[in-house]
Structure formats: structure tokens, C-alpha cells
């Protein structure tokens, strides 16, 4: 039984922290949007600040929304850093900037504490089922210390490299997922407009080199026109923007990632940023005035999902 | 034992026709580049023209390079059409234009014969192992007649729709494969330039939503810098151009397919069209002056694969 901390009890974080608690650990939490009574009822130990969480726990897990949130939780007055002492461990499981991650890790190291970045893939379903893919950056010996805890939340857990490497892998993941969604949308739109049933095309293609989880899952969403998240486009957009910021800083040309960001901007302009990122298909449908599922169940050009 | 015809004994066609022969069928062939002695030695029955093949066989399979080749084999003087009679069946397994396919099928129907388009995915390895994915367009009853023959050459065999639907599905397949190759290249290039081992990123990502056969197979080619085909870029380029021709005719906007065609043009300009289409990664590497496998085994910017 360890003294753990968890900050960020959102859609992902709540079930993840729940798995830690269910394994018998004491989980100290700080959550601005939940009452102490609510947290206690869920089996957590509420604290009055992030600093207080860090004082009580030996290992503090973060699962918040973006780079500024991580910075604030760690380094604000009464933040995690103020409560750290030598030998403690911070694990940031949020999806944030790889470059900022390296700076955060250095500042945490200055307090004598260790740092891992461990962003995840798999969404709410993966968080609930403890089947997340976890991409880790940090020192191998620190990774080994954290592995039993990570194994309570995920299934495929890979040490990718030094601090920041987990975030870099997550960005690479989001590039592939975003661009593959776009690719599947172009392919199904082509087939549908040519008068061929996109559902049969999906089935035929799942047997060959075009096969992917995206064709299987997101392809089906496009065909049935069901764009409920899943993973919201606005969150995916954040990750694609991290890729483009990184590309600029690293002097890299990523033409399709850049174009994907523009199509995501269009989705936002059209009011669809809260839908699953497979809504990209509907941006393409709008450009060509044709629905992938041109079977009469949706209007010929109905911009509302 | 049936009387079959096969025209197009190239890298794909030769092993495919071999499977038909090995199953005990008599396979009449016409091949401009091979001698009668050579064909006989392989167990085929050489003919002096495509017309002669069609006169002797009840079912004639085509496996040639492109739309003009199919048109010529079918409709030139002494072409297949001239030798057809009612009840015979033409199966075009080449990858060609869906629009042209519908016209060809009509002209064949005027002779009282049936037509299926049945392009394949799976490459030389799939042709040799008889594990091709076959996407078929045509009438259901004609498909059922052909299915036992197709099953000698492929594993996943799907009737996608009417005549032309097989070619449409193949184009959709090639859109996804091309754009996914490009996506994997951008992701691995990002990781590598950020100082993270692309090989570990590939492994980590294969556990999640970014998983695909392309990440597995083509991702490995990019990491090891081994661009031997596989599937030659110049052939993939032909298919992507079919997608763009179709898009223009159908009034469709396919932004990433269009951009992929331009990157393929760049690969050709750089002299790489004979390599596997994962050579697209090297076009991106050239733009960013960085190799995905930046491990010292290749020069920092060596344009020769």
C-alpha cells in the first residue's frame, strides 16, 4: 500500500485514479471542481492544494488538459513542486508539449525528485477498462519503479526514451491517427460518390494493406454518420498543434499534418469541434456536397451531424 | 478441368496463372515477351493472339499494366473481343480506371459475354502465396461462377458491387495505403528529429489506435532505410492518378490525395520511382534534411536509398 497523489479527476483521470485506489493504495487528490464529500465518497483523500498532495504522497500522478495546466499544477504557489522532497516521483500522464516537458523535468529534478512523462492512448474506454497504451519517457530505473502503478491503468506500456520521449511518441501517434482518419474519409467519399456502397468497400479493404483500427472503427462512424465522441476533435486539434509547434522548432516540414490542422480549423468553424475527430469526414463531405452514407438516411447536404 | 485464358504473365500474372494450371485447368496464354517454348515449359498453352485465347477459353483473365493496355488487349484487331462468343466470361484483374471499366464491360456485353473487374491487393508475395485480396465488381451470379477460380489466387474475395466497383474499391485502397505511408513517414520523422528512437515509437504505437499494417511493414522499411519493392512507387502513382482523374470527373475534393500525388512527382523527379512507395519518407527527409534512421548508418543527407 503506497501513498499516491492524483491531480486531474476528469473523464480520463477519475477512472485511472479509481484503479489505483481499487488496488489498495491511498490516493490523495486535489480537485477544484469536486467537493471533499464527493471525493471521500469515491474513496479518495481530499487535499486543500496540489502542494499538500505532494507533501503527503510519494508518487504524484497528473492527468490534466494541456501544457499550461501542467505548468500551473506543478509550479504555481502551493503547486506540486513546493511540496516535493528528495526521492519523490512525479508522473505526468497528460498529453502536452515534449519541449516543455523537458523543462518541467529539469525544474522537478532541482528539487531532488524524479519525473516521468507517460501520456496515454485509448480514450475513456481504455481508461475505464485499464487497457490504455502508455508511452513513457524517463530514466530506465525510474520507469521500473513506476511500472507496477502504470500497469494498474494500462496494458501496453513502453519506455520510449529519455524524458519527453513519451510525449513525442504521443504526438507521433496523434499525427498518424489524424492523417489516417483523413485518408479513410477521402477513400470512402471517393467510393460513395462513384456509386459504390462504402460499407462493402470498408469490409473488402479490411482484408488487405489498407487495414487499420481507424478504418475499422472510424470508418464505421463515417458510414453510419455517428460522430459522438470517442475522442473530441478539439482535443485532437491540440495534439496536432503540438506537432506543428514542434515541427517549426525542430525545422521539420510536415505537409499533411499542416493540412490536417486546417481541416480541423474548418471543422471548428462549422461548429463541430465537440464531435469525434472522425467528423473530419464531414468537412470533406461539405467540400464535395456529398455524404459518404448517401443512402437517404441523411439529407444530401445536411451540415448537422 | 476448364479451358481458361490468361493474358499478362508479368510479376503478378505469372504466379497467378500458375495457380490455375496447378489446379488442373488448361491455361491458354498470349504473351508478347515470352517464347512459345518458354510458355510450354511452364505448362501453359501458347496462342498467337489474344483473339485466339478468347476462342479457345471459356473464361479469360487479364492481368496487365494499365487502362490503355486493357483496352488494347480487349479491343485491338485480333483482341479478346474478336474471339468471344455468347456465355464466355472476361475477368480483368488489372488495376485500371473504374470509369473505363464500365465502358469495356458494356462493349463485352454487346458480344453476349460477361465481365467482372477483380483487381487485387497483396503484391508479388500475395500472388505467389495465393493470398491476394480480390475486390470484385459485377453481377452476383457471374461472381458466383467465377468464385472458385478466384479462390485459387486469393484469400479474401469480396463482391463490392456492380461492374466497376472492384476498381473503385482498389482506388480507395490505394488512397488509404498512400496516405497512410505518408502519415507514418511524418510521424517517424517528427520523433526522430526530436531525438527519439523511431523504432521504439513504432513499437509503442503498434499497441494503440495508430496501429496498421502500413506502420508495421512500411514503418520498418523507413526505419531500416530499405526501399526495395514491395510495390513500386510508379505503379502506386498510376493508381493515385486514377483517384484524381475520378475525383475531377465526379466533382470531388480530395486534398491529401492530391498532395500525395505531388510528393510522388517529387520522388520521381529525384529518381526514386522504381523504389517501394515507402520511399515517400525519403522525399520528406529531403525536405527536412534529416533521416528517420539518424543512427549514423546512413549519411545525414544522402539522397540515394
Question: Mind listing the pLDDT tens digit for each residue in A34-55?
Answer: 999 999 999 999 999 999 999 9
Query: Is B214 domain-assigned?
Result: yes
What is the pLDDT, as a whole number, of residue A32? Answer: 85
Q: Are residues A203 and A128 in the same domain?
A: no
Q: Are residues A172 and A106 in the same domain?
A: no
Which CATH number goes with the domain that contains A173? Answer: 1.10.1040.10
Backbone angles phi and psi of B122, in degrees to 5? 135, -15
Structural domain total, chain A: 2
Query: Is A302 domain-assigned?
Result: no
Q: Are residues A108 and A144 in the same domain?
A: yes
ipTM of model: 0.94
Backbone angles phi and psi of B60, in degrees to 5? -115, 120
Which CATH number goes with the domain that contains A65? Answer: 3.40.50.720
> How much is the mean pLDDT over chain B?
95
B37 has pLDDT over 90 = yes
Query: Is B208's CB within 8 Å of A133's CB?
Result: yes
> What is the arithmetic mean of pLDDT over B18-47?
96
CB-CB neighbors (< 8 A) of A259 in chain B: 255-256, 259
> Going by C-beta distance under 8 Å and a sequence separation of 6 or more, which residues neighbour residue B230?
B123, B221, B276, B277, B278
Does residue B180 belong to the interface with chain A, where contact is any CB pair within 8 Å? yes
What is the pLDDT, as a whole number, of residue B297? Answer: 54
Query: Is A204's CB within 8 Å of B161's CB?
Result: no
What is the pLDDT, as a whole number, of residue A62? Answer: 98
What digits encode the pLDDT tens for the residues B59-115? 999 999 999 999 999 999 999 999 999 999 999 999 999 999 999 999 999 999 999
Query: Is A201's CB within 8 Å of B169's CB?
Result: yes
Contact predicate A116/A89, CB 8 Å: yes
Cell of residue B167, nine digits? 476498381
Check whether the bond before A230 is cis (ω within 30° of 0). yes
Q: Are residues B253 and B119 in the same domain?
A: no
Query: Is B204's CB within 8 Å of A246's CB?
Result: no
Rounded CA-CA distance B177/B218 in Å is 10
CB-CB neighbors (< 8 A) of A243 in chain B: 190
Inter-chain contacts counted by CB atoms under 8 A, chains A and B: 262
Domain that residue A241 falls in: 168-288
- The last residue of a domain, from among B107, B129, B161: B161
- Beta-sheet strands, E only, within A94-165: 114-117, 120-121, 132-137, 154-161
Q: Are residues B47 and B114 in the same domain?
A: yes
Query: Is B298 domain-assigned?
Result: no
Q: Are residues B8 and B151 in the same domain?
A: yes
CB-CB neighbors (< 8 A) of A220 in chain B: none
B303 has pLDDT over 60 = no
Q: Are residues B8 and B156 in the same domain?
A: yes
What is the reported pTM?
A: 0.94
Q: Are residues A94 and A196 in the same domain?
A: no
- Which mean pLDDT values do the consecutive 10-residue runs of chain A (305 residues) have? 95 96 98 92 97 98 96 98 97 97 98 97 93 97 98 97 98 98 98 97 94 96 94 95 97 98 98 97 97 66 51
CB-CB neighbors (< 8 A) of B97 in chain A: none
- The last residue of a domain, from among A142, A161, A180: A161
A298: DSSP letter? S
What digits encode the pLDDT tens for the residues B219-251? 999 999 999 988 899 999 999 999 999 999 999
Does residue A61 belong to the interface with chain B, where contact is any CB pair within 8 Å? no
Query: Is B301 domain-assigned?
Result: no
Q: Are residues A204 and A149 in the same domain?
A: no
Query: Is B300 domain-assigned?
Result: no
Which positions of B are catalytic?
Answer: 170
Q: Are residues A149 and A193 in the same domain?
A: no
Interface of B with A in 249-278 (CB under 8 A): 250-257, 259-260, 263
Does residue B248 belong to the interface with chain A, where contact is any CB pair within 8 Å? no
CB-CB neighbors (< 8 A) of B289 in chain A: 251
B300 has pLDDT over 50 = no
User: Cβ-count burial of A113 within 10 angstroms (0-12 exposed, 13-18 middle, 19+ buried)?
Assistant: buried
Catalytic site includes residue A170: yes
Q: Are residues A22 and A46 in the same domain?
A: yes
Q: Are residues B9 and B106 in the same domain?
A: yes
Query: Is A293 domain-assigned?
Result: no
Residue with cell 495534439: A239
pLDDT > 90 in chain A, percent: 91
Query: Is B190 domain-assigned?
Result: yes
Neighbour tally for A141: CB within 10 Å: 8
Does residue B281 belong to the interface with chain A, where contact is any CB pair within 8 Å? no
Rounded CA-CA distance A201/A216 in Å is 11
Nearest one of B239, B121, B247 to A189, comparing CA atoms? B247
Query: Is A126 domain-assigned?
Result: yes
- The last residue of a domain, from among A135, A161, A187: A161
Q: How many residues does chain B have?
A: 305
- Nearest CB among B160, B177, B211 relative to A210 is that of B177
Amino acid at each position: 500500500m503506497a501513498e499516491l497523489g492524483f491531480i486531474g479527476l476528469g473523464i480520463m483521470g477519475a477512472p485511472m485514479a479509481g484503479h489505483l485506489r481499487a488496488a489498495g493504495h491511498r490516493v490523495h487528490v486535489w480537485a477544484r471542481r469536486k467537493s471533499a464529500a464527493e471525493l471521500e465518497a469515491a474513496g479518495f483523500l481530499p487535499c486543500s492544494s496540489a502542494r499538500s498532495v505532494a507533501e503527503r504522497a510519494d508518487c504524484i500522478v497528473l492527468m490534466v488538459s494541456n501544457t499550461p495546466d501542467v505548468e500551473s499544477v506543478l509550479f504555481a504557489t502551493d503547486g506540486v513542486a513546493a511540496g516535493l522532497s528528495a526521492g519523490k516521483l512525479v508522473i505526468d500522464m497528460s498529453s502536452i508539449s515534449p519541449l516543455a516537458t523537458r523543462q518541467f523535468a529539469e525544474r522537478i529534478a532541482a528539487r531532488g525528485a524524479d519525473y516521468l512523462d507517460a501520456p496515454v492512448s485509448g480514450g475513456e474506454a481504455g481508461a475505464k477498462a485499464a487497457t490504455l497504451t502508455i508511452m513513457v519517457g524517463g530514466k530506465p530505473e525510474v520507469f521500473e519503479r513506476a511500472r507496477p502503478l502504470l500497469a494498474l491503468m494500462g496494458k501496453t506500456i513502453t519506455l520510449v526514451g529519455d524524458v519527453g520521449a513519451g510525449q513525442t511518441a504521443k504526438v507521433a501517434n496523434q499525427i498518424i491517427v489524424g492523417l489516417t482518419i483523413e485518408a479513410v474519409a477521402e477513400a470512402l467519399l471517393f467510393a460513395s460518390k462513384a456509386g459504390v456502397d462504402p460499407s462493402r468497400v470498408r469490409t473488402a479493404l479490411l482484408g488487405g494493406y489498407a487495414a487499420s483500427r481507424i478504418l475499422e472503427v472510424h470508418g464505421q462512424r463515417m458510414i453510419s454518420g455517428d460522430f459522438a465522441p470517442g475522442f473530441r476533435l478539439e482535443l485532437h486539434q491540440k495534439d496536432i498543434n503540438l506537432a506543428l509547434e514542434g515541427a517549426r522548432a525542430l525545422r521539420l516540414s510536415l505537409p499533411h499534418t499542416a493540412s490536417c490542422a486546417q481541416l480541423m480549423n474548418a471543422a471548428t468553424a462549422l461548429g463541430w469541434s465537440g464531435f469525434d475527430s472522425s467528423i473530419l469526414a464531414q468537412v470533406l463531405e461539405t467540400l464535395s456536397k456529398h455524404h459518404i452514407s448517401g443512402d437517404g438516411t441523411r439529407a444530401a447536404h445536411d451540415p448537422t451531424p
